[in-house]
């Protein structure tokens, strides 16, 4: 098995963004105040000895000027150890521009992460995002046809969003994905200090999800995404003291991602074999026993069986 390349992240808070999405406060999420310059990036990369995956996160990478994007990409090619690759997150649709796309794809790109969040134009409008899902999807077709390695980011619990709209979104994206191997990230909508969403919550215009609602919603989306061939690489935001100090509402829980994955596995088990027995690799055991036995309780609830019976029907075998 190929060893995963170490990641070297650089957070570019709001870098390239044309506006502020109502839920977003990159500074609070990343703890980074200023956008580091390409020169700063170079100075860090020059000191590395092993190839890395350089990640530009926290903004809309392809919305910097053409020259600036090139400078960030050149920093990797010129100053990171040979064999290093690049991952960046960007606003979907921006790589529709052929000149920009050709330039970006001439670099060693490990993955382009598209911050789609939702394909529902009503939701996008309430979030103050650009509202043309058709343009997003058309760009994905172009990127797929050019074999660009993609990761799609979706959110749950956005203003005006429903579980069925999320499920519709992931199905719609899967139609384009076809047989391609795309990654998938799922983030809950949290209410963070200094965002418009915080004001919307305070005025009663927005009601955030509870942890329980987010686990069930997220687990369902992950289950569907996995069954459609996406590789989930993250669910939930990276927990940090900074984030914890800035959250004012919503499903904030340090193990939210783990709980969503538990829910998704349970849904898959029931989908494949509604009444058991079920056999799973032992690496999944904590998803049933951890967090006060969430997994076992939930499996019992969804199958209407006593917990003892559910536990007897569940077998773990050592993972190879
Ligand atoms: S969600 Fe993305 S596009 Fe919107 S403000 Fe945040 S970084 Fe910018």
pLDDT band at residue 248, thresholds of 50, 70 and 90?
very high
Looking at per-residue pLDDT, the higher value among 291 and 110 belongs to: 110
Given a cut of 90, is residue 299 above it in pLDDT? yes
What's the average model confidence in pLDDT over 284-309? 88
What are the pLDDT digits (tens) for 117-130?
999 999 999 999 99
Give residue 237's pLDDT.
85
Shared domain for 309 and 246, answered yes or no, is: no
Residue with CA closest to ligand 1 atom 2: 59
What are the pLDDT digits (tens) for 148-197?
999 999 999 999 999 999 999 999 999 999 999 999 999 999 999 999 99
Give residue 139's pLDDT.
93
Shared domain for 170 and 76, answered yes or no, is: yes
Residue with CA closest to ligand 1 atom 7: 59
What are the pLDDT digits (tens) for 128-137?
999 899 999 9
**How many whole angstroms from its chain centre is CA 226?**
14
* Contact 30 CB / ligand 1 (< 6 Å): no
Shared domain for 171 and 277, answered yes or no, is: no
What's the average model confidence in pLDDT over 16-39? 91
Q: How many CB atoms lie within 10 A of CB 142?
A: 14
Shared domain for 319 and 257, answered yes or no, is: no
Shared domain for 312 and 228, answered yes or no, is: no
User: Is 133 within the bounds of a domain?
Assistant: yes
User: Is 15 within the bounds of a domain?
Assistant: yes
User: Is 240 within the bounds of a domain?
Assistant: yes
User: Is 302 within the bounds of a domain?
Assistant: yes
CATH of residue 96's domain is: 3.20.20.70
* Contact 17 CB / ligand 1 (< 6 Å): yes
What's the average model confidence in pLDDT over 250-274? 94
Shared domain for 235 and 317, answered yes or no, is: no
User: Is 150 within the bounds of a domain?
Assistant: yes
Shared domain for 290 and 222, answered yes or no, is: no
Shared domain for 19 and 125, answered yes or no, is: yes
User: Is 2 within the bounds of a domain?
Assistant: no
Given a cut of 80, is residue 313 above it in pLDDT? yes
Which atom of ligand 1 is closest in space to residue 24's alpha carbon?
Answer: 6
Residue with CA closest to ligand 1 atom 4: 21
Shared domain for 289 and 186, answered yes or no, is: no
Shared domain for 267 and 146, answered yes or no, is: yes
User: Is 179 within the bounds of a domain?
Assistant: yes
* Contact 60 CB / ligand 1 (< 6 Å): yes
Given a cut of 70, is residue 319 above it in pLDDT? no
Distance, CA 26 to ligand 1 centroid (Å)?
A: 8
If you average pLDDT over every residue of the chain, what do you get? Answer: 93
Given a cut of 60, is residue 1 above it in pLDDT? no
Q: Domain range for residue 304?
A: 273-320
Given a cut of 80, is residue 2 above it in pLDDT? no
Shared domain for 68 and 109, answered yes or no, is: yes
Given a cut of 80, is residue 318 above it in pLDDT? no
Q: Residue by residue, what is the 3-state secondary structure of the chain?
A: CCCCCCEEEEECCCCCCCCCCCCCCHHHHHCCCCCCCHHHHHHHHCCCCCCCEEEEECCCHHHCCHHHHHHHHHHHHHHCCCCCEEEEEECCCHHHCHHHHHHHHCCCEEEEEEEEECCCHHHHHHCCCCCCHHHHHHHHHHHHHCCCCEEEEEEECCCCCCHHHHHHHHHHHHHHHCCCCCEEEEEECCEECCCHHHHHHHCCCCCCCCHHHHHHHHHHHHHHHHHCCCEEEEECCCCCHHHHHHEEECCCCCCHHHHHHHHHHHHHHHHHCCCCCEEEEHHHCHHHHHHHHHHHHHHHHHHCCCHHHHHHCEEEECCC
pLDDT band at residue 283, thresholds of 50, 70 and 90?
confident
Residue with CA closest to ligand 1 atom 5: 20
Among residues 232, 251, 272, the one where a domain terminates is 272
What are the pLDDT digits (tens) for 64-114?
999 999 999 999 999 999 999 999 999 999 999 999 999 999 999 999 999
Distance, CA 114 to ligand 1 centroid (Å)?
A: 11
Give residue 285's pLDDT.
83
Q: How far apart are CA 38 and CA 15, in angstroms?
A: 12
* Contact 21 CB / ligand 1 (< 6 Å): yes
Given a cut of 60, is residue 320 above it in pLDDT? no
Give residue 292's pLDDT.
80
Looking at per-residue pLDDT, the higher value among 142 and 281 belongs to: 142
What's the average model confidence in pLDDT over 268-279? 92
Give residue 3's pLDDT.
64
Distances (CA, A) of 117 to 95, 159, 164, 167: 17, 11, 14, 12
Query: Would residue 31 be called left, alpha or beta, if left means φ above 0 and alpha means ψ between -120 and 50 degrees?
Result: left
- The number of folded domains in the chain is 2
User: Is 181 within the bounds of a domain?
Assistant: yes
Among residues 272, 290, 312, the one where a domain terminates is 272
Distance, CA 20 to ligand 1 centroid (Å)?
A: 6
Shared domain for 105 and 186, answered yes or no, is: yes
């Amino acid at each position: 098995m190929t060893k995963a390349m170490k990641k070297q992240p650089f957070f570019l808070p709001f870098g390239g963004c044309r506006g502020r999405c109502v839920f977003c406060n990159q500074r609070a999420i990343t703890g980074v105040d200023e956008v580091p310059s390409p020169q700063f990036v170079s100075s860090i990369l020059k000191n590395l000895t092993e190839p890395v995956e350089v990640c530009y996160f926290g903004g809309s990478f392809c919305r910097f000027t053409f020259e600036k994007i090139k400078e960030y990409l050149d920093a990797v090619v010129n100053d990171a150890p040979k064999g290093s690759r690049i991952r960046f997150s960007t606003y979907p649709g921006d790589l529709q521009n052929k000149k920009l796309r050709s330039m970006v794809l001439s670099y060693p790109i490990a993955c382009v992460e598209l911050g789609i969040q939702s394909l529902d134009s009503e939701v996008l409008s309430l979030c103050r995002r650009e509202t043309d899902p058709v343009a997003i999807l058309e760009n994905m077709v172009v990127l797929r046809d050019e074999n660009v390695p993609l990761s799609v980011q979706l959110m749950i619990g956005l203003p005006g969003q429903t579980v069925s709209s999320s499920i519709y979104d992931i199905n719609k994206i899967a139609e384009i994905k076809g047989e391609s191997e795309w990654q998938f990230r799922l983030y809950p909508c949290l209410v963070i200090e200094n965002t418009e969403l915080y004001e919307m919550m305070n005025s009663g215009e927005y009601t955030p999800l509870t942890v329980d609602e987010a686990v069930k919603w997220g687990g369902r989306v992950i289950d569907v995404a996995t069954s459609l061939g996406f590789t989930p690489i993250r669910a939930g935001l990276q927990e940090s003291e900074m984030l914890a100090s800035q959250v004012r509402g919503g499903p904030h829980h340090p193990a939210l991602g783990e709980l969503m994955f538990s829910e998704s596995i349970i849904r898959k088990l029931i989908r494949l074999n509604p009444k058991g027995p079920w056999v799973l690799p032992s690496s999944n055991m904590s998803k049933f026993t951890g967090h006060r036995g969430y997994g076992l309780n939930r499996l019992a609830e969804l199958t209407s069986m006593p917990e003892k019976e559910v536990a007897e029907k569940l077998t773990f075998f050592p993972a190879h």
